[in-house]
Amino acid sequence: MKLIDIAAMFVSLWLLTSMVIDVLTPKELTVYMIGAAIAPATAVAAILCWLRVPTIDFAVVFATLWMVSVMVLELITPKPLSLLMAVVAVAPMLIVGAVINFQCWRRRIKGIEAPKSDEA
């Protein structure tokens, strides 16, 4: 991918995410505060995409950055965020962990089955 394509894609995602979070959070948390809180995570994700980091590594870093961004949002908001935001913060980490564990389990099963077919 070209640098301009990646920049346009991540700026669009950053703007869309800021607007969606603005709708879901209390009125005291403005889109400007949200945009500033998630901008560093978006920039790091864009750089990692441009460097062509492997997919699993990118997913782990993205999930971690997302959780940190929601924690920053929780710190800067005057009112506590809803339980839904806590679920939204933790969900990517749980999904990435489940996918990694599933892949390890599949590799282990294939590794156990492969020698049995070779011995027969």
pLDDT tens track for 11-63? 999 999 888 888 888 888 888 998 999 999 999 999 999 999 998 889 889 88
As a whole number of angstroms, the distance between CA 74 and CA 68 comes to 10
For residues 5 and 22, give the distance between their C-alpha atoms in angstroms, rounded to a whole number. Answer: 26
The predicted pLDDT at position 2 comes to 85
pLDDT at 85 over 70: yes
Q: What is the value of pTM for the model shown? A: 0.73
- In angstroms, the CA 72 to CA 51 distance is 26
**Cβ(67)–Cβ(92) under 8 Å?**
yes
Do residues 28 and 74 make contact, with C-beta atoms less than 8 angstroms apart? no
